């Protein structure tokens, strides 16, 4: 099973005239490490850090990170079965929705799972995006692993802790 974990690009209002600070997506690193301990080979696409020198304006916002086309290209290249996207800040949820949309443009059958503080607090609002299949609330290291194992085995995922 090909598993891709994505940290989306970030944005601020254009008027601020300074780029977003790059941060380590520690939650994705913990999830990836736990998957690797269980014999999976996930990849992390840090679309913020990978394109930290890339700034562009879209919808009156100053973006830092990979462009939509670059993200699309990386997803096509990786051919994921499941994509996990982190939503670390409420102010960035539209970026998460955009990345989910890019994933579904590649292939509607790719399962999109979102986690992080925003979806933990606002799972209904997060799932209102039709490109997101599931939310994992709370700490995701073990829940995401359980989700992957049950998805791979085609067994009942409703028992996954924190799954919405």
With 60 as the cut, is the pLDDT of residue 19 above it?
no
Closest CA to 10 of 50, 60, 53, 62: 62
Q: What is the pLDDT of residue 9?
A: 85
> Out of 41-45, 57-61, 96-100, which region has the weakest mean confidence (pLDDT)?
57-61
SS3 content of the chain, % helix, strand, coil (to 5): 40, 20, 35
Mean pLDDT for all residues in the chain: 89
Q: What is the pLDDT of residue 116?
A: 94
pLDDT tens for residues 133-153?
Answer: 999 999 999 999 999 999 999
């Amino acid at each position: 099973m090909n598993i891709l974990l994505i940290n989306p690009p970030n944005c601020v209002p254009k008027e601020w005239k300074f780029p977003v600070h790059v941060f380590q997506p520690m939650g994705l690193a913990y999830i990836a490490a736990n998957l690797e301990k269980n014999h999976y080979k996930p990849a992390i696409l840090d679309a913020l850090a990978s394109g930290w020198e890339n700034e562009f304006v879209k919808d009156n916002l100053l973006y830092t990170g990979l462009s939509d086309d670059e993200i699309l290209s990386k997803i096509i290249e990786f051919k994921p079965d499941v994509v996990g996207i982190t939503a670390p800040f409420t102010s960035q949820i539209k970026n998460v929705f955009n990345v989910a949309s890019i994933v579904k443009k590649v292939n509607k059958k790719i399962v999109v799972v979102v986690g992080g503080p925003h979806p933990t607090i606002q799972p209904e609002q997060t799932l209102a995006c039709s490109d997101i299949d599931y939310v994992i609330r709370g700490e995701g290291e073990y829940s995401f692993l359980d989700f992957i194992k049950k998805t791979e085995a085609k067994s009942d995922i409703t028992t996954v802790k924190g799954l919405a």
